[in-house]
Chains A and B, each alone.
Chain A
């Protein structure tokens, strides 16, 4: 026997990287096959069948257009189109299932590749090999990417090609009118594909971070899923609770939940789906001039959310790298390799459950919600305690607890519930963490809206409400912001029958809406400032003026009518008078109104509720878009120039 002499062996950073990577890749072969199947049956399958459907549809369209076809030829084309439609529908259903499969298998692959984190035998197998932490971590990660992300990426690339082909064909098929819709849809589909890919990427990082704290298979398999779901719930609820309990907050839409797109893989997918549903249902076919101009960019592709998501993904990876590096292998077999996790992880699940229930208990106590009833508090607390206790016990069972020290489980649960109450209270009583005082800077506002109103029942004969609607004019925006600054951002004693609503669409895409009760004095002051000839004219006639300026616009018909008893009998002759554009020059009508509007002020406005002499209904058609809009106006007694113009028209026609 020969004795081994002492040797100095340096630890090379990526020693045996390739053999280890190839070994792991071979180990992940079943996952790779499954991922490949899912990838193939998602975008490529859907793209292929939708493309086929479109081709069949175009064939029918072309036959119809040619008007020279045999009946059997059309019948065959229709049959082919119907069959292609069924196949496309089927492929979409399968595709969606497979996309879920891709997302789930990304987690399964990560779980399997890093099994030495929770499997004692695998610890011996992997850690006894001549590889170091760097080799093991990065080679395993590379194997997960190769297994999960590469097939997914190839599928996305095929999907992008199909989408563009389909889009180009669809543009021809749908005609010029709907090209914008096709382009928007194409953009959303392409964005969604990359959201799916990014979500899977983040899923690897997130799952790895979670698995690196686990020491048992059940914990490693179940808890990352639970936390992945809990985080977007917590994030969205925190945003909702904060917003809802901010003094003056109103009319927040689903946009307040959008930040949750950046903090977890499930959140990224859920918010993207929410956005798509909202966009397709509410936005695609709507051409109304809402304050919320729907942007077709998915929230995750907004720079701030994207940067946050990338940053968090990097943090997850770096966190996992160091947790795995410093974890103690001998703790594998325990539920958690880091002791604090046995409190933190179930605590996160309890937080997701208890946030809404604690909010129901605390919200009535918040200053901003003094009118709410506290009668339900006991019921919510009971429900909270029972539901969280049951879930907590189940989580402990998953962790492998045999409940020999059941009192410890009860103590941990009670502690979690108390901490969750504290966290909820912070959100409820924070008054929006300063958001209540927030007034945007004029250069950060893309569009603004203000609506001032009084109690109709108290002032039935007065014009109490006035609005500046969706203004993009910088001076008007500045004016609105100055008004906002004057409004107290807390509940005042003299605030009574008057309200002011302010909404801003910020250049970042965020919607800020506030609604405050204000005093009569402040109401008068604000109305004096905003009821100006320009604002009154723009608010009433701005849209008609813009419609007339549009390419292809033409005046259809003008109907003058007397509506009710308050109308001056002098103009009763104008009741239901139909005029042609040649008999009623709309531009001259607007000129007369503009001249009259010079008299407009708060006093005139306040005292002239429904004191009109006749109505004017102007129909504007657009030859290009075939759109038709009816503009309805009250001609009031003080509008001398306008009345004179109308009288002249009626007389000429007679």
Chain B
């Protein structure tokens, strides 16, 4: 169980995390979404005990992580850079983690390694970005820590390798009850992999919910009216976005489906059709509400 209580992190007096409170149950696959600079990587570093919060608390299984070696042995963090391992070979890297993580499974590592095509004796500096990722991920899984945090973990992996790595993580979760938090800008992956998501923006949590709940609560309505309508016509409905295409009005709304339908039907629409949204679409519309709007470019 991960608990973050009012955590604040400052970079040069600017709050990278601004009083974040989150609770992530054990055994969960948690997807961390957010714009660039939202604080995802900072949050993962807080959880890994690399950073200490300026205020607030970060607890895993009830323990403070920062400077707590015994707690850190239960956490494995894969950051978005792998340059620090450049001087190591894959064997060196395996032995490196084996020395520090008492739970490291040589057998599991061999099993994971056998599915990849990585040279054992070459320095990681000669590896491609994707190969480095694979190397770190198999080490992370083989450490068999109860918590695994991945920052942009699938970045650089080809589609086949993404499937393999994803399957490795799923197997580990099934086998050991591993709690995985991973941040990614590839929302399709989070959509496929996670059962809970949190959206960060400007150091604050926008939402933190079960994925199904997120997807159920934000949806698209295609509707048509006799008379022209504006966003103001839908008072009482949380409309994130409106768009008119000819006589068809597209609404992105947040809320309970029944309540939204009842509210719209009061306006006597000629057409009412609900369309499910992908996580990526939800992300874009939610961010638009927060002023993080791609249309500004146009």
Contacts and interface: CB of A to CB of B under 8 A. Distances in A.
B68 A132 contact: yes
B2 to A, nearest CB: 10
B155 to A, nearest CB: 15
B52 A131 contact: no
Contacts of A4: 1, 26-27, 61, 146-147, 177, 179
Nearest to B173: A1
Contact of A132 (B67, B76, B87, B177): B67
A15 B70 CA distance: 8
Interface size class, chain B: 35 or more
Nearest to B70: A9
Contacts of B176: 2
A16 interface: yes
A130 B69 contact: yes
Given A16-B100, A330-B42, A128 B69 contact: no
Contacts of A133: 67
B99 A19 contact: yes
Contacts of A20: 100
B174 A1 contact: yes
Interface centre among B25, B27, B68, B75 (most CB of A within 10 A): B68
Contacts of A129: 72, 100
Interface in B9-57: 9-12, 16, 25-27, 42, 45, 48-52
A651 interface: no
A82 interface: no
Contacts of B71: 9, 11, 130
A12 interface: yes
Interface in A6-42: 6-12, 15-16, 19-20, 22-23, 27
A625 to B, nearest CB: 65
B16 to A, nearest CB: 8
A404 to B, nearest CB: 14
Contact of A121 (B49, B68, B83, B174): B83
B69 A16 contact: yes
A330 B174 CA distance: 35
A121 B177 contact: no
B49 A128 contact: yes
Contacts of A123: 50
Contacts of B48: 127-128
A637 B137 CA distance: 107
Contacts of A19: 99-100
Contacts of B160: none
Nearest to B41: A124
B50 A127 contact: yes
Contacts of A9: 61, 63, 68, 70-71, 74
A124 B72 contact: no
Contacts of A132: 67-69
Contact of B49 (A5, A22, A127): A127
B168 to A, nearest CB: 15
A10 B70 contact: yes
A129 B93 CA distance: 13
A265 B146 CA distance: 48
Nearest to A22: B99
A390 interface: no
A130 B278 CA distance: 39
A334 interface: yes
A573 interface: no
B61 A6 contact: yes
Given A330-B51, A334-B12, A3 B70 contact: no
A1 B61 contact: no
A128 B101 CA distance: 11
A23 B77 CA distance: 19
Given A7-B62, A124-B45, A135 B12 contact: no
B234 interface: no
Contacts of B11: 330-331
B233 interface: no
A329 B76 CA distance: 18
B84 A122 contact: yes
A125 interface: yes
Nearest to A27: B87
Interface in A377-432: none
Interface residues of A, number: 39
A328 interface: yes
Interface in A107-149: 119-125, 127-133, 135
B73 interface: yes
B79 interface: yes
Contact of A128 (B16, B50, B68): B50
B27 to A, nearest CB: 4
Interface in A175-220: none
B81 interface: yes
B1 A6 contact: yes
B27 A11 contact: no
A215 to B, nearest CB: 11
A40 B9 CA distance: 50
Interface string A310-334: 0000000000000000001111001
B84 A124 contact: yes
Nearest to B11: A330
Contacts of B70: 9-12, 15, 130
B69 A135 contact: yes
Nearest to A1: B27
B85 interface: yes
Contacts of B147: 4
Contacts of A128: 48-50, 72, 75-77, 79
B207 interface: no
A331 B178 CA distance: 31
A13 B248 CA distance: 68
A132 B50 CA distance: 11
A16 B104 CA distance: 14
A625 B174 CA distance: 95
Nearest to B145: A130
B96 interface: yes
A3 B177 contact: yes
B50 A3 contact: no
Given A121-B84, A128-B49, A3 B26 contact: yes
Contacts of B26: 2-4
A19 B79 CA distance: 22
A121 B9 CA distance: 19
A5 B179 CA distance: 12
Nearest to B80: A124
Contact of B101 (A3, A124, A130, A328): A130
Nearest to A5: B61
Contacts of B27: 1-4
A11 B49 contact: no
A6 B62 contact: yes
B177 A1 contact: yes
Contacts of B99: 16, 19, 22-23
A122 B50 CA distance: 11
B90 to A, nearest CB: 16
Interface string B167-198: 00000011011110000000000000000000
Interface in A625-645: none
B50 A124 contact: yes
Contacts of B67: 11, 132-133
22 contacts: A1-B27, A2-B26, A2-B27, A2-B177, A4-B27, A4-B147, A4-B177, A5-B61, A11-B67, A12-B70, A16-B69, A16-B99, A121-B79, A121-B83, A124-B45, A124-B50, A128-B72, A130-B71, A130-B72, A329-B52, A330-B10, A330-B42
Interface of A: 1-12, 15-16, 19-20, 22-23, 27, 119-125, 127-133, 135, 328-331, 334
Given A1-B27, A11-B69, A330-B45, 18 more contacts: A4-B1, A4-B26, A9-B71, A121-B79, A127-B48, A127-B49, A128-B50, A128-B76, A130-B75, A130-B101, A131-B69, A132-B67, A132-B68, A329-B50, A330-B11, A330-B16, A330-B42, A334-B12
Closest CB pairs A-B (n = 6): A2-B177, A130-B73, A1-B27, A19-B99, A9-B70, A15-B69
